[in-house]
């Protein structure tokens, strides 16, 4: 497992909006818009995955294919047990891969291509869901992180 990429030469960079990310240990992810930092590699992949997972499909008028139905499933009460959580998460991951499929060209480095997503653990309580996810890139970089969602 590699650490966060610090080689930004010739890369398209994303603003670092998800703070608290450390690819070497389990971390909670928090949103921050004031850092002025950029990211690449597995950190960029994790940030994009979380944004796609938590944004509703069709919620962005400029790109109605962006996002998943994961949050709307939570809000509608469709996730009430572990089986439903796993199923809705699998549907959401399929949507993420379908969206990203058309976005990856030959210029994208392997450490910025999502290869695998694994739901490791979850905490499902009334008004709260937390998921522990492992992402792996085409370069073999992996990261485990927690995504808490309050309803």
* Cβ proximity of 42 and 137 under 8 Å: yes
Pairwise CA distance, residues 136 & 46, whole Å: 9
Provide the 3-class DSSP secondary structure of residue 90: helix
Question: Count of alpha carbons within 13 Å of 108, Cβ hemisphere only?
Answer: 18
Q: How high is the pLDDT of residue 40?
A: 78
In the chain the domains, ranked by start, together with CATH numbers, are 14-150 (3.10.450.40)
Q: Which two tokens stand for residue 112?
A: 């910025």
Could you read off the pLDDT tens digit of each residue along the chain, which spans 151 residues?
334 455 556 666 555 555 554 545 544 445 444 556 767 788 888 889 998 998 888 887 888 888 899 988 988 888 888 999 999 999 999 999 999 987 787 888 898 899 999 999 999 888 788 899 999 999 999 988 888 877 7
């Amino acid at each position: 497992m590699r650490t966060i990429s610090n080689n930004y030469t010739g890369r398209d960079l994303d603003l670092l909006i998800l703070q608290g990310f450390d690819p070497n240990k389990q971390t909670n992810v928090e949103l921050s818009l004031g850092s002025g930092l950029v990211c690449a590699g597995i950190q960029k992949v994790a940030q994009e995955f979380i944004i796609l997972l938590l944004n509703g499909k069709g919620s962005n008028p400029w790109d109605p294919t962006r996002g998943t139905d994961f949050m709307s499933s939570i809000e509608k009460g469709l996730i009430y047990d572990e089986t439903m959580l796993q199923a809705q998460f699998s549907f959401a991951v399929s949507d993420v891969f379908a969206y990203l499929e058309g976005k990856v060209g030959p210029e994208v480095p392997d450490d910025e291509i999502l290869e695998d997503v694994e739901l490791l653990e979850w905490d499902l309580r009334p008004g709260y869901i937390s998921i522990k996810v492992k992402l792996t890139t085409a370069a073999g970089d992996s990261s485990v992180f927690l995504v808490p969602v309050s309803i």
